[in-house]
Structure 1
């Protein structure tokens, strides 16, 4: 079971803020890892004391701890879990971080190169099926004259005299906690651990130079606009043989005039005439895979959908493709010739459907043809009367 925080700091439960600060300073000095060389448990004790002070110095956390104990700090009593940063606590009191010591020194070596970004535009079909796209990027590349070392041909870099090849320098200072050891990058070699006495003239000792680089970006099938491809190691190389950064390719996809993408599916519209929809027809429809014969069944209604399986977008998991959904749009002619209108009126008469300019089997000859009545400002449809059967007429 975790130790009581008040007991850890050696204060009473009604201790003031000043009493908590004084107690923490005293306990921190005594348990600091640098003040206890060879004591493997010193760091754990120091962390626990710092956590105790972090909780008790926060009014809300202290109230939850007083009421629920350690369980209240884990968010188990209706409140959020309490979090803290040992570095912030220690630095606010003493300056510096005791956990950044010579035991955690960064290994020497040249720094990594910069990342780069570029934008590639794709048409709709390229995004669906994927493509290989050639691009040009200005980036830092390895200097061939010095093979990336930064040293003039025939010479080699030497171990840095300031840091002895470590890439960092240590500074020791005295404090009330004893000796404090800090590390910082070596200014002489810029953290690389090596220095160049005779720099390469082609790259001025950098080991790299700017060039226009041509790359081929392989765009996988099914990508969407706004997606980003990461090309590992295709950014700029680091100085003096440092590892290269990455290249991030942002994709922009043009909209299609014919297709709309919905996930792995494609949606398109097929315009047909009212006679084709009524009688049925077969039309040639242009898909992304090429033309295909599309059968429109007799009696097809507006917005009916014809599904073409496997003609959509390739799935990201590589398991086939989505479907193509063709939505039927029935176009009504706005103008008819006299002969065409007469034939359609004959059809309407045979079906017993009243039309303008033709006989109305459902109305008396003296009935008004108005279909909108004005009165209180509302539009009303006329009351429908029962149609007489076309067969029963004399």
Structure 2
């Protein structure tokens, strides 16, 4: 900030070198971000005039600015300070056109919406930026354009949640599958694979499938797929199914109940200890 102030006061600073940079937000599906794709975007902005090729001149000729005499800056008295600023006539370029272009009225640029093709590399994530050199706003007459930065924003997915290069998903299993173990088909971004659920798996337990996540756009290393097991309670039971479950539950309420449900047993012991401390 102070550099800009002293540059204005004491005559520092230079002529503009190019146009402004632009930022464009691009929404992608998870699959598009993981595998890469080509996208067409429409970018409104200021572009170089086709009629004069950005020069602002109808015949391509220009002359030294009579106001600043080609310096691009003029000096103004502001109290005890002598302040320099960009020349209002040539806007700092030091040149003015003799015959202004009819299309852009001598500005050298016009407002237009452009269609651009963007190649999205595989593995990008929200916040990553792709730089398109020279696709920003047109610069002052005769100067190059700025750059366009396409910022990626990945939409939420119905199955997977992304965390860096890892993917997370919930896998529902039946009570019997969790207790006895099972082979279950689970989705990945490359298609279905078999997941081995070990016996006595608890709800919330995570099983890691290495290399089934996202391949990093920077390192090339593939992340993992982390499957969180969700044990489903059966619903809409028939009379026979209810009786079978009651028989199973009764068989687990004997003297060996603690070994069948260790978490429930420890929880009940904790509750008893709590009430004992409260009432003592």
TM-score by shorter chain over 0.5: yes
Establish whether residue 285 from structure 1 lines up as the match of residue 190 from structure 2.
no
Q: Where do residues 240-319 of structure 1 align in structure 2 (5 Å cutoff)? A: 240-319=141-220
Q: Please say if 1:156 is aligned against 2:57.
A: no
Q: What is the match of residue 165 of structure 1?
A: 70
1:348–1:169 CA distance, 2 compared to 1 (3 A): closer
Name the count of aligned residue pairs: 256
Structure 2, unpaired ranges of 5+: 256-270, 274-280
Q: What residue number does 1:235 align with?
A: 136
Of 252, 258, 275, 1:353 maps to 252
Higher strand content, 1 or 2: 2
Please say if residues 258 and 268 of structure 1, whose CA atoms lie closer than 8 Å, have aligned partners that are also in contact.
yes
Q: Structure 2: how far apart are the matches of 1:86 and 1:262?
A: 41
Deviations 1:76-99 (A, max 9, x none): xxxxxxxxx7999xx9xxxx95xx
Aligned-partner Cα distance in 1 for 2:83–2:235: 86
Larger helix share, 1 or 2: 1
Of the two structures, which has the highest relative contact order with CA contacts closer than 8 Å and spacing of 6 or more?
Answer: 2
Name the structure 1 match of 2:259: none
The within-5 A match list for 1:61-100 is 97=9, 100=10
TM-score, length-scaled by structure 1? 0.56
Q: Distance in 2 between matches of 1:301 and 1:236?
A: 57
Partners of 1:105 and 1:164 in 2: how far apart? 17
Instruction: Supply the distance in 1 between the matched residues of 2:229 and 2:83 (Cα, whole angstroms).
Output: 74
SS in 2 for 1:241: coil
Residue 46 of structure 2 is matched in structure 1 by: 140
Cα deviation for residue 348 of structure 1 reads 5.4
Q: Deviations 1:19-66 (Å, cap 9, x if unpaired)?
A: xxxxxxxxxxxxxxxxxxxxxxxxxxxxxxxxxxxxxxxxxxxxxxxx
Stretches of structure 1 lacking an aligned partner (at least 5 in a row)? 1-84, 355-360, 363-378, 382-394
Per the normalisation by structure 2, the TM-score is 0.76
Shift of 1:347: 4.9
Larger radius of gyration: 1
Question: CA separation in 1, counterparts of 2:43 and 2:25?
Answer: 11
C-alpha distance in 1 between matches for 2:174 and 2:88: 80
